[in-house]
Structure formats: C-alpha cells, structure tokens
C-alpha cells in the first residue's frame, strides 16, 4: 500500500473516531439533561401529591362539620402558600395568608393588587401551631366572616359547587387578585380536587 494512502486512511479513521466521540458525548449529555429534567418534574409532582394528601383529611373534616368545600380549602391553600413552600406556611403554618394582630402574629411582606398593579407591602399575619390549625381557622373565617361583615363569606359556605364558591370568594374580596376565582377553579380542575368534596 502506498505510504501516503496509508496515512490518509489512518487520519480518516482518527477523524471518524473523534467525530463519533464528540457526537456520542453530545447525545449522552442530552439524554442526561432530559433524564434530570424528568426527575425534577417527577419530584415536583410527588411533592404536590404529598401536600394535597397531607391537608385533604382536615379539609374534609371541616367540610363535614361546617360545609366549606374541601376543594376550595385545598385550592386556596395551594395558591396562597405555593404548595406549603412560602415562608409564612413553612415557618408559621399559615396556609391562607390570614391576617392577625398581637403576640400570635408576625410581620411579613406580601403582594397585593392595587390600582391595576401588583405592589409589595408589609402585613401582620397569624401564626399557627400546625397546618391543621390554619385550616380550622380558615373555616372559622368562612363561617364568622370579617369584623365588619359577619356574613361576608356566607355565599362561599352555602355554595353547592366549587365554581360558585370560588366566585363567591372573589366577590367577597377575599383576595385582591382580579383572577382569584379563575386561578382556584384551574387548580381544582388540574388536580381533580373535587374528588375530596363530601
């Protein structure tokens, strides 16, 4: 074999090996990234399922006793506490952003929708011993209303479906978010929370 041809073949083989190694590495990296993304998605989904399972029994207990729909309670807890991950929920067991005063409260930052825009303000929020205590107090708020209107949430308690209950919360100014009812309904439908309604 011609010596020049031999070196050409050797160089071509080396180039093919290098190109193969590069693309092989690239494919491996891509699969690894996809695998890690899938693992993250599965972990987040499990955390969400676990959160729902943890608070659902107390929400159902409150519905049985006081007729506040479990799906609404769970959806509010999800939305207000970011799946139990907010500082207020983690550190002070307040799942619903319920305001408070005195020794059993903490000053925290919160976002409210005012004059067509989101603003950060400081507010004083209740501190609870557990998430169950927070759920029980949320139910109490629905039953007893606010200090200025004891019937403020009566339409929520008397609602016969979660869509009406969600709209009643918005109509009663539970939150400043103009899309509050829509967000609650979306959460309920996405995670089939109406299965927890008695």
Q: What is the C-alpha separation between 104 and 163, in angstroms, rounded?
A: 33
**Whether 94 contacts 125, CB under 8 Å:** yes
Catalytic residue among 42, 58, 112, 179: 112
Contact 84, 95 (CB under 8 A): yes
Q: Report which secondary-structure segment, H or E, holds 35.
A: helix 3-66
Task: Spell out the residues 6+ positions from residue 112 whose beta carbon is closer than 8 angstroms to its own.
Answer: 118, 119, 121, 176
Q: Which residue's structure tokens are 């969400």?
A: 48
Residue 25 makes CB contacts below 8 A (sequence gap 6+) with none
**Catalytic annotation present for 112:** yes
User: What is the C-alpha separation between 12 and 1, in angstroms, rounded?
Assistant: 16
Instruction: Find the distance separating the first CA and the last CA of the chain, reported in whole Å.
Output: 86
Active-site position among 42, 137, 179, 197: 137
137 noted as active-site residue: yes
Specify the 3-state DSSP secondary structure of 98: coil
Catalytic positions, please? 112, 137
């Amino acid at each position: 074999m011609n010596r020049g041809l031999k070196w050409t073949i050797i160089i071509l083989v080396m180039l093919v090996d290098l190109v193969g190694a590069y693309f092989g590495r690239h494919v491996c990296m891509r699969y690894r990234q996809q695998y890690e993304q899938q693992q993250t998605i599965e972990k987040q989904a499990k955390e969400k399922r676990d959160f729902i399972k943890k608070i659902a029994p107390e929400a159902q207990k409150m519905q049985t006793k006081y007729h506040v729909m479990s799906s609404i309670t769970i959806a509010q807890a999800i939305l207000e506490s970011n799946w139990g991950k907010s500082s207020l929920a983690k550190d002070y067991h307040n799942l619903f952003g319920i305001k408070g005063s005195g020794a059993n409260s903490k000053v925290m930052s919160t976002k409210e929708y005012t004059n067509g825009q989101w603003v950060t303000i400081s507010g004083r929020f209740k501190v609870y011993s557990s998430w169950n205590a927070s759920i029980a107090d949320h139910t109490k708020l629905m039953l007893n209303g606010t200090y200025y209107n004891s019937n403020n949430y009566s339409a929520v308690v008397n609602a016969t479906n979660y869509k009406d209950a969600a709209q009643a919360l918005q109509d009663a100014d539970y939150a400043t978010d103009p899309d509050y009812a829509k967000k609650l309904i979306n959460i309920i439908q996405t995670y089939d929370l109406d299965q927890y309604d008695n």
